[in-house]
Amino acid sequence: MALGLATVGVGSTVGADHGSAEAKQAAREIQAARDRANAAAQAMFDAESAIATLIIGIAETEAQLAVVELQANEMQTSLEASAIRRFTQSGGSSFLLLGDFSDATDQLTADVLAAVTIETANVELDDFDAIIVDVGATRAKLERQKAQQTAAQKNFTELEKQAEVQIVQLQKVESQRVIDDAIEHELQRQREKRARQEAAASKAAADKAAAARQDARNTATNSSGGGAPTSPPPSNAGKGMVCPIVGNYGFADTWGAPRSGGRSHQGVDMIAAPGVAIIATESGTVRFSSNRLGGNAAWLTGNSGTKYYYAHLSSYVGSSGPVSQGQQIGRNGQTGNAGTPHLHFEVHPGGGRAVNPYPYVRAIC
């Protein structure tokens, strides 16, 4: 990746006094650069999800095409047998066989099949004509989907480059500042303010959806009322945690995005240069393992009882066992089912099912 090879001239760095206008301005500039990196990461991962959706659709269309082609071939065989039987019984010395199915055209359907219409039930010919149309439509749909996949892949490649550029730009912005306690305090204050605004907006949206469902129930007694609204993230999301990745990075909300094999994404993806330090988000016990999808992976069981899953590491640091918060446990990579070097990070409160980790990461990174 370009971001892994970029070198940045640090030059003179600037710090700031606690609570000063300089600290606030520096925090705004750094956060703006981080927001741009995150937006680029979101666009890239959304494009990746679009490709996954197309791949799933192509597989479904290919299966559908196999079914209709089989039906058409079976129907053609039946019509040919019927034509042979009827011409033979009528004493004719010759008969017309239908051409190979793969070469069937509208003209064949109109001319050749018309030759046996007298001896074959019209309904059978109508059915065959309909299946020919169905085959053609399904083939056309498959070609469109493959063309869309090619375009989507090209778009993903471009967005991947843009995300890498934004990570390098973020590195430049942060290298021009000494992110001391004063600036970090302002960054955290801005994150907390944004979290409160987003929680309020989420609650307002949930209240509005609930009111709409109640209105529907009041006007239609048989109405089911629709599905439940998305629950706002817990107000203490990220409390007691530190960001699982160090340095310059961008992350995106990819929760629930489609993946191959009918899976859905259960983590947050954080792009960064290969080799960037991956750390324990809280104190606890880490267990290293590897698998086909996650590559080099790690399970961290925090002292709070929450479990965290890390995937796609290029390598481990240390060995399975107790770790302290902030201790390095691995390096960023792209092992397993990964393209761009990134960390796949999951949060399992209480050791249970995964929840959307994006609100947690957004609160601490």
Give the Cα separation of 177 and 160 in Å (integer): 27
Mean pLDDT by 10 residues, the chain (365 residues): 41 52 85 89 88 86 88 81 67 47 50 49 69 88 91 91 89 78 80 75 68 56 36 62 91 82 83 94 95 93 95 95 96 90 93 91 88
Predicted pLDDT at 90: 55
pTM recorded for the entire structure = 0.58
What are the start-end ranges of the H helices in the chain? 2-5, 21-89, 106-115, 122-175, 181-219, 358-364
Residue with tokens 């995964």: 354
Predicted pLDDT at 119: 47
Bridge-based pairing state of the strands 315-316 and 307-313: unpaired
> 341 vs 45, 162, 271, 275, 279, CA distance in Å?
12, 14, 6, 9, 16
Predicted pLDDT at 258: 76
Predicted pLDDT at 92: 47
Predicted pLDDT at 202: 67
Residues 60-71 as b or e (16 or more Cβ within 10 Å = b): ebeeebeebbee
Predicted pLDDT at 222: 38
Predicted pLDDT at 128: 77
Pseudo-torsion of CA 129, 135, 141, 143, nearest 10°? Answer: -130
Residue 298, Cα to own-chain centre: how many angstroms? 21
Predicted pLDDT at 88: 67
Give the Cα separation of 93 and 140 in Å (integer): 40
User: What one-letter code names the amino acid at 336?
Assistant: G
Could you give the strand order of the β-sheet that contains 268-271, starting from the edge strand earlier in sequence?
A: 250-252, 268-271, 342-348, 307-313, 295-302, 284-291, 321-323
Predicted pLDDT at 307: 95
Q: Smallest Cα–Cα separation from 52: which of 262, 259, 267? A: 259
Residues 261-287 as b or e (16 or more Cβ within 10 Å = b): eeeebbbbbbbbbbebbbbbbbbbebe
Q: Coil, strand, or helix at residue 197?
A: helix
Give the Cα separation of 159 and 40 in Å (integer): 7
Give the Cα separation of 327 and 150 in Å (integer): 42
